[in-house]
Amino acid sequence: MKLDRRNFLIAASTATMATRIKAEVIKESIQKHGLADAFVGDYHVGAAVSTDTILSEDKPTLKLLEREFSSITAENCQKWEEVHPSEDSWNWSASDKFVDFGEQNNKHILGHALVWHSQIPSSVFQDKAGDTVSASVLRRRMENHIGTLVGRYKGRVHTWDVVNEAVSDDGYDDWRPSAWFQILGNRYMEEAFNLARQADPNAELLYNDYNMHYPQKREFLVGVFKDYLDRGVPLDGVGFQAHYMLDDPELEQIEKSIDAYSALGLPIHITELDVDVLPKAFEYMGAEISTNFEYSDKLNPYPTELPDILQEKLASRYEKLFGLFSKHQDRIKRVTLWGVSDADSWKNNWPVRGRTNYPLLFDRQLNPKLAYTRLMNLKR
């Protein structure tokens, strides 16, 4: 009897030891791996990579990128003004390093952005005399840009933001009156998608825009995309930039747009997620909306650190957003944060230059914030 009891106790302690070891292995694995591994069953979790990070070979940031994210997006280095600063000159150094880093670390690589009205040399739309070019000249320039850039990374860049922000901010229910639209009409967008498909038949091609939760924008774009899909325009998915505030937009509006675009059979990419924790500039500017919001201390209330109460609000907001994304993980292919750490964020300078913002998951010392921990706990 004693012997059986002894064997039982040995067996029980061995089993307990095994369970404890397994728990340790899982815990150690999550510690060694990061956010993307926690969400691996749902969608890619990515980050935008600044040109400085790439060119300076910022080891701490690159190491964090490698551990925490499964997808990377070129924040600026593949934009027209950076990669193709004039008709006959290309600047490949940062873009090549970005793609090399992605390949060496087995990342899903996003190219951004082929056709946009911003960060593009005005010379693209002008002749040598400074007059507006003809449609045929601009069409040829777009063909050369997309063919060269997408062609260079054929089979290496998996997904491209082909057209960025083509919808007007005046009513959100028509085409943006950009130089692209004014010279080529609204066909410029489908021509860009066709050119990208020709340059790399296997790349995933996205339309990307902000405020994709706006009902008017949703209705306008659903109409455009339905027509594209009927005519075989090679649109493969929709990018929600998702530059959000702590309490805006409501999850319900985001969900309505996830439903509407998914109903067309188009996968959703959350392409530029960040959560602005600072006061809205226009609330302080009253009715007078200026194009450059002047800096004021009132608009920069946390210059040295974010109070705990706001860390908690930010964490809760990220928890709810990722909860919504995971609820629709069958329709959402990727969630990309628009930067690695708070230090990188464009929100430190827009819409007010020189503020200290805290919109991302890692702080200025590259430490995970409360929001990061809450997201990891969603998957524990």
Which spans of this chain sit near ligand G3I (rule: CB under 6 A)?
A: 75-76, 113, 118-119, 164, 241, 272, 346
- DSSP assignment of 309-377: HHHHHHHHHHHHHHHHHHHTTTTEEEEEESSSBGGG-GGGTSSSTT-----SSB-TTSPBPHHHHHHHH
Q: Give residue for tokens 């500039």.
A: 281
Taking the complex as a whole, the smallest distance from the CB of residue 208 to ligand G3I amounts, in Å, to 7
Q: Are 363 and 314 in contact (CB under 8 A)?
A: no
Of 49 and 315, the one with the shorter C-beta distance to ligand G3I is 49
Comparing every residue's Cβ against ligand G3I, the nearest one is 346
> Nearer to ligand G3I by C-beta: 164 or 326?
164
Query: What is the closest distance, in whole angstroms, from the C-beta atom of residue 335 to ligand G3I in the complex?
Result: 15
Do residues 273 and 43 touch, judged by C-beta distance below 8 A?
no
Nearer to ligand G3I, 30 or 62 (CB): 62
Nearer to ligand G3I, 53 or 70 (CB): 53
Nearer to ligand G3I, 153 or 315 (CB): 153
* Catalytic site residue from 75, 191, 204, 272: 272
- For every residue of 151-188, DSSP letters joined together read HHTTTT--EEEEEE--B-SSSSSSB---HHHHHHTTHH
Alpha carbon distance 104, 71 (integer Å): 12
CB-CB contact of 203 with 150 (8 Å)? yes
Question: What is the residue whose two structure tokens read 């008017």?
Answer: 216
- In angstroms, the CA 227 to CA 201 distance is 21
Shortest separation between residue 251's beta carbon and ligand G3I, angstroms? 21
Cα–Cα distance, 15 to 12 (Å, whole number): 5
294 classed as catalytic: no
Contact between 99 and 156 under an 8 Å Cβ cutoff? The reply is: yes
The pair of three-digit structure tokens given for residue 136, joined into one six-digit string: 């045929």
Both ends of the chain: CA-CA distance in Å?
42
Identity of the residue, 81 or 255, whose beta carbon is nearer to ligand G3I in the bound complex: 81
Shortest separation between residue 329's beta carbon and ligand G3I, angstroms:
24
CB of 276 to ligand G3I, least distance (A): 11
Which residues are registered as beta bridge partners of 208? 164, 239
Nearer to ligand G3I, 75 or 191 (CB): 75
Spatial distance between the Cα atoms of 315 and 300, rounded to a whole number of angstroms: 20
- Token pair 């985001």 in the structure block, residue: 254
Minimum CB distance to ligand G3I, residue 81 (Å): 8
Q: Report how far residue 291's alpha carbon sits from residue 350's, in angstroms, rounded to the nearest whole number.
A: 11
Pairing of strands 204-209, 237-240: parallel
Closest CB 118 distance from ligand G3I, rounded Å = 5
The catalytically annotated residue of 68, 165, 191, 204 is: 165
Is there a catalytic annotation at residue 103?
A: no
Catalytic residues: 165, 272
